[in-house]
Structure 1
Amino acid sequence: MNKAKMVLQNTGMRKDNQQFDDIVKIVESAKDRAYRKVNEELILMYQEVGKYISEKSKEAA
């Protein structure tokens, strides 16, 4: 294989790798946002459960 053809192939591979890396970054970013949203909902649930338990314990007293 001649040198020019090797350079062209390597350039194409770098471009493909960069595109793949960009897609991986998009997916990882979406996963991070999803984790944050789930954690936010868990915190709200814990607050609601705590409020409920607090109110019921006041009623019982």
Structure 2
Amino acid sequence: MGKTWLIIGSFRGLGPAIAEAVLEAGNDLVATVRRTVHAVFAGRANVVNGPLQYG
């Protein structure tokens, strides 16, 4: 069973590199970005645009 990772700030810097490694290892990924989804997620993720819903 794989792990589920949460990466906050996955648009630039170390975020995309870590996200890519997580996906390549076959793990699940929950990632947040403030801008359009980075190419590392293209075709490999369910994307939800908009603010997080609480409650």
Whose radius of gyration is greater, 1 or 2? 1
Q: TM-score, normalised by structure 2?
A: 0.26
Q: Flag the structure with more relative contact order, 1 or 2, with Cα contacts below 8 A and sequence separation at least 6.
A: 2
**Structure in which a larger fraction of residues adopt strand:** 2
Q: TM-score, normalised by structure 1?
A: 0.24
